[in-house]
Amino acid sequence: MLSRTLGLIFWMAVAGVAGYWLSPTSGPLPGAFAVCLFTVLKDLWKGQKIAKWLRHSNAQDPPNLDGIWGDLIDRMRRILNEQGRQTKNEQQRLQDFLMAIQASPNGVVLLDPEGRIEWCNQTAAQHLGMDAKRDLMQHVVHLVRDPVFKKYFSSDDHEAEVVIDGRSSSLQKTFKLSVQLHSYGESRQLLLTRDITAIAHADAMRRDFVANVSHEIRTPLTVLSGFIETLQSLKLDAEEQKRYLELMSVQADRMQDLVNDLLILSQLEGSALPSNNEPVTLESLMVGIESEARGLSAAQLNLGEESQVLNFEVSQGIQLLGASKELYSAISNLVNNAIRYTPSGGLISAIWTTLADQRIQFSVIDTGPGIAPEHLPRLTERFYRVDRSRSRESGGTGLGLAIVKHVMQRHGGELKIESELGKGSRFTLIFPASRVVIKACRAEP
Ligand code: ADP
C-alpha cells in the first residue's frame, strides 16, 4: 500500500514537472491531476472486473490483475475456495444424514409451523400413502385423513402415540401404524410413523390364545364342579357314584391332555433347535407309535362295530437326525388323528418312503370323513377345528396339528395336507435330506 502511494506521488510529481516544462503558464497541477484521474479510472475498471468476477463467483477463474488488486483477488479466491469446501462438506453431511433417515425402518416427516410437509422419507410416504416429492408443502391433515389423526394433530397433547390405519400408495394393503408428533426448532414438528401390524397381529393372537385356553379349561371345569355338587348334595347308590366318577375322570383327562399339549407347544417355542447329531431309528420310533395307535383304535371301538384296519410300513435301516420326543409327538398326533376321525371299519395306513432326492416322507392316509378345502389352510392354527363337538368327543385338544407344524419347522421339514370331503385325508411329513441317514442293510445270508 505504501509503495503504491509513493508510486502515485512519484508519477504525479513527474507529470507535474513534465506539464510545467511543456506549459509553464498552466503550472504542474493539470499533469498531476491527469495522473490522479488515470489512476482512479484504472482502479474503477479493475474494481468493475472484480465485481463481475464475484457476481459469477467462479473462484477457479479469477481476472488476471497485478499489484494490490492481484493480492486482493488471491485472498478472495482463497476465502471462496475455503467456503466452497465447507459448503461441500456440509452438503455431504446433510446428504449422509438424509440417507440415514431414508434408511430408517420408521417413517419421518418434517412439518413447518403451519403443518405443511417440508420433507419426508420413503417409509413415511409408503406408510401414509403419499408421494415424497409431489406432496411436499401440502398440509399433512389433507393427506392423512384418518379422523383419529386429525383429532390428535389438532389437540395440544402429543405425549402419547396414536394408532391409525396405514395406507400403502397402491391402496391395496392396509396396516396398523403408530404415529407420534414431536416438537422441535421454532414451532416445527416431527411426525414419526411405525408399522405395528405385526405387533398388533401378535397381540391379537395372544389375546385369542388366552381366551381359547380359558374357554377350553372352563368347559371341563364347569362339568367337574357340577358333578362334585351332585355328589355332595344327592345320595347316590354305588353304581351311580361309579358312573359319575367315570364322567369326572374323562373331564380331568381332557384338562390334562390340554395342559400337556400346551406344555409341548411352549417347550417347542422356547427351546433350541433340535441338534443334527442325535440319530433316531425309524423302526424303534414306530414301535411305540404303532402300539399306542392299536390301543387307541381298540379303545374307541363300540360293541358290535367292525374294527379299523391299521397298516404300518417302515423302511429298514433309516435314521432321522432330530429330537426323538418331538418326532414321536408329531407322528403320533397324525396317526392318532386318523384313528380318531376315521369311522369303524375304515383303513388307516402309516407309510415311510424314501424320495429320489434322499428326503424321506411319512404319510398317514385314512378313509375318514375328509376335510372341505376351505378348512385346509387353517388346520394348523391353534384350536382350529372343523367340527368342534366331534373333536372334543374324541378327546381332541385342537392343538395337535399346531404341534406337528412346529416340530416340522424346527426340523427344516414340511407338513402337507391333502383331503377330499367324503373320501379321506392324507397328511404327509417331509424331512430334508440333511436330516436323513440311510444305513447300508446287511445282505441276508
Ligand atoms: P384336534 O385335537 O381337534 O384333533 P388337531 O389340531 O389335531 O386338533 O386337528 C385340527 C382339526 O383338523 C381337527 O379338529 C379335525 O377337524 C381336523 N382333522 C385332523 N385330522 C383329521 C383327519 N385325519 N380326518 C379328518 N379331519 C381331521
Tens-of-pLDDT digits for all 445 residues of the chain? 677 788 888 888 888 888 888 888 877 888 888 888 888 898 888 888 888 887 776 666 778 877 778 888 888 888 888 998 999 999 999 999 989 999 999 999 999 999 999 999 999 998 998 998 999 999 999 999 889 999 999 998 999 999 998 876 455 666 899 999 999 998 899 999 999 999 999 999 999 999 999 999 998 999 999 999 999 998 889 999 999 999 999 999 999 999 999 999 999 998 899 988 889 999 999 999 999 999 999 998 887 889 999 999 998 889 999 999 999 999 999 999 999 999 999 999 999 999 999 999 999 999 999 999 999 999 999 999 998 887 877 788 999 999 999 999 999 999 999 999 999 999 999 999 999 998 865 544 4
Identify the pLDDT of residue 389: 81
- Distance of alpha carbon 157 from alpha carbon 159, whole angstroms: 6
Q: Which atom of ligand 1 is nearest to the CA of 388?
A: 14
Single-letter amino acid code for the residue at 103:
A
Q: Which CATH number fits domain 104-195: 3.20.20.120, 3.50.50.60, 3.30.450.20, 1.10.150.20?
A: 3.30.450.20
- Distance of alpha carbon 276 from alpha carbon 319, whole angstroms: 11
Among 195, 196, 193, which Cα is nearest to 120's?
193
Identify the pLDDT of residue 114: 93
Q: Is the pTM of this model over 0.95?
A: no
Helix (H) or strand (E) holding 345: none
Q: Which residues line ligand 1 (CB under 6 A)?
A: 333, 337-338, 341, 366, 368-369, 371, 379, 384-387, 391, 396-402, 425
Identify the pLDDT of residue 170: 52
Residues carrying CATH 3.30.565.10, the chain: 275-445
Q: Which atom of ligand 1 is nearest to the CA of 396?
A: 2
pLDDT in tens, 255-308: 999 999 999 999 999 889 998 888 999 999 999 999 999 999 999 888 788 999
Q: What are phi and psi of 107, to 5 degrees?
A: -85, 140
Q: Which fold has domain 199-271?
A: Helix Hairpins (1.10.287)
216 and 383 in contact (C-beta within 8 Å)?
yes
Residues carrying CATH 1.10.287.130, the chain: 199-271
Q: Which atom of ligand 1 is nearest to the CA of 401?
A: 6
Identify the pLDDT of residue 73: 83
326 and 407 in contact (C-beta within 8 Å)?
yes
Identify the pLDDT of residue 58: 62
> E strands within 117-173?
117-120, 162-167
Q: Which of 382, 385, 390 to mutate to test the pocket of ligand 1 (most atoms within 8 A of CB)?
A: 385
Residues paired with 71 in a beta bridge: none
- Does domain 275-445 sit in CATH 3.30.565.10? yes
Distance 304 CA to ligand 1 centre (A): 26
Distance 396 CA to ligand 1 centre (A): 8
Bridging pattern class, strands 347-354 and 309-313 = parallel
Whole-angstrom Cα Rg for the chain: 44
Nearest CA to ligand 1 atom 4: 396
Residue found by looking up cell 423302526 in the block: 283
